[in-house]
Amino acid sequence: MRLGYRSGSNDYIMWDKDYDKVSGLLEYRRPLIWTNGVFDIIHTGHLRLLKFCRDHSKDGRVIVGINSDSSAKSLNKSHPLINNEIDRAMMLASLKDVDFVVIFDEPNPAKCLELIKPNYFIKGGDYTIDELPENEKAIVEEYGGKVLVSGKVEGKSTSSIYKKIYDIGYNDARDLDDTYGGGFI
């Protein structure tokens, strides 16, 4: 974990330098809800996941972990990463259902789960409990946390958005440069 953004601000806290401040922010309101992902192009599926997290938080905190740029690229997705980690973190931190955003460098959030110990670890509906990496599930259950999966939103995924873009003919970034005056890459 390198840094975290607080909701409603562009301020960030360095986890390794400001851990006392971070732990104070996290312990202040329980339960803690953790969800994570790349969150490159925000869509309805993401928003419903975050609402599901907020609904389970009661008066607690919703923490969203996002894969760093290097971590996201190592996941071998079939599409490119569009937004960098800082932009993705700032977009998420501005949403009302998010209290805190953490950027992590590992391919999965195991270290974050061990450190933060959320009461609930919630994954999006494109997973089942059985498909979660065993170490993530085991870490949460070891300290008494619960693992939940939100409902799936059919047809709403980053992959389906990329497919739609490619299907309508924007399969070359130069097409987008001509249409929007550049800056897509």
Q: Would you kindly state where each structural domain of the chain is located, as residue ranges?
A: 3-154, 156-185
Q: Is the pLDDT of residue 87 over 70?
A: yes
Candidate CATH numbers 3.40.50.620, 3.30.470.20, 3.40.50.11810, 1.10.1740.10; the one for domain 3-154: 3.40.50.620
- Beta-sheet pairing, 61-67 with 12-14: unpaired
- Mean pLDDT, to the nearest integer, of 160-182? 59
pLDDT at site 178: 45
CA atoms within 13 A on the CB side of 159: 6
Query: Which amino acid type is present at position 29?
Result: R
- Mean pLDDT, to the nearest integer, of 109-114? 90
The H or E element that residue 177 is part of is helix 173-180
pLDDT band (50, 70, 90) for residue 21: low
The model's pTM is 0.81
Q: How many residues does the chain have?
A: 185
Q: Is the pLDDT of residue 26 over 90?
A: no
Q: Is the pLDDT of residue 6 over 90?
A: no
